[in-house]
Structures are given as structure tokens and as C-alpha cells.
Chains A and B, each alone.
Chain A
């Protein structure tokens, strides 16, 4: 079974631009979560989508948004990029999104904002 894939793997943007990251979950998984990982803040939950609906949201500004398509693929968008948005963005999928359900992570997208 193919794992979670994320594209692109690396991105370089400048302040003020916007960016879209993509995540393809494991086949059959309906829950997709996004995380931001930085050396200073560690791993922080952004949001979770389940069956095309945002079910949970972390404490991030509205510049961070996402969506999920009918095939469970998900995209994350960051508008008006700031230097502090430089991070590794991880996507994870699970069958149900419940904490007892194993979550599988993708390799991440490394975003650098100049």
C-alpha cells in the first residue's frame, strides 16, 4: 500500500507570496491532518479534514487554510507569507482521525520564506 505523499518536497518563496501544498493520503483514509514543525515551536497541529469538512483547527491565523477533495486528497494554503512561516509542513492520514487510530505521516514539504 502506498504511503502518504506530499508535493512539492521543497519550496522557496518570498514574503507576501502565497503557497499551496498538496497531500495524498493512504488509500481508504478519510482523515487528513496538517502539522507545522519548527525548531523553536516543535510540532504544532494546524487542522484536520474528514470527508471534505474541516473538523478540527489549531491555533493558527486565518492565513493558513486548507481543503479536502472527494478522493481525500488535501491541500493547504498559506497566504501573505511571513518569514516565520518557514517550516517543515507535515501531512498525516488515518482511517478515522480518532486518537486510537494509527496516523501515518508523509515526508513533509520544506518551506523556506525569504
Chain B
């Protein structure tokens, strides 16, 4: 069965510092990978997704993620964090055929300090 692990429950970074959120997955074939962000009181918003091709994926709001098959990872990065990036971030793994096959991680809560 597929699974996804976000090892960091909570991360605190200073505004302007770089950010890396970790995501490890377990999946038999080439997975579909997603990163979502959820601000307080809001639903999830897709930041970026990977299905195939270039392993470095650019997303919205200045985020990027790199698919590393050898490490079963899909870490999310941002070179300079803004206070508005404070939110909860979810990594998800799925497959072709529909969102019923997507498994979400437990989330990483990002706090940004001035």
C-alpha cells in the first residue's frame, strides 16, 4: 500500500530564511506527487505536482520541489520565506485514475518569525 511521511510536525523559520519541508513516500511504481498548503480556516491549495518528466518542479508562490526516486523523496523548498507563508503544508502521493487513490501526509505546520 502506498504511504507518505512528513517527518516534521512543526517547523519554525525566520522571515527571509530558506525553507525545506521533507516528504518521503512509499509507492511501487512512479508516483504522482503533490504539495498542498492550507491556511487557517481555509481549504487546501495546490502548490505543485509531479507526474513525470523534469524532476525539479516549479510551483506557485515561489515554491519548488524535487523528485528523487533513489531517496523516495519529494521535498518542498523556498529560497526566502515570507510571513504570509505561515500555514500547514501537506504532501500527497497518488496514481493515475483519480483522487480516491491519493494518500495525504499528516502535514507540517510552518511558523514564520520576524
Contact of B32 among A33, A92, A94, A100 (CB under 8 A): A100
Contacting residues, chain B, for A102 (C-beta < 8 A): 46, 49
Binary flags per residue of A86-106, CB closer than 8 Å to B gives 1, else 0: 000011101001111011111
Query: Interface with B: A12-20, A41-49, A66-74, A77-85, which one?
Result: A41-49
- Residue pair A43, B90 in contact (C-beta under 8 Å): yes
Give A102 to B44 CA distance when docked, in angstroms: 12
Range, interface on chain B: 20 to 34
Give A42 to B88 CA distance when docked, in angstroms: 12
Residues of A within 8 A of B (CB): 4, 33, 42-43, 45, 48, 55-58, 90-92, 94, 97-100, 102-108
Contacting residues, chain B, for A43 (C-beta < 8 A): 44, 90, 104
Contacting residues, chain A, for B44 (C-beta < 8 A): 43, 90, 92, 105
Contact of B104 among A42, A48, A106 (CB under 8 A): A42
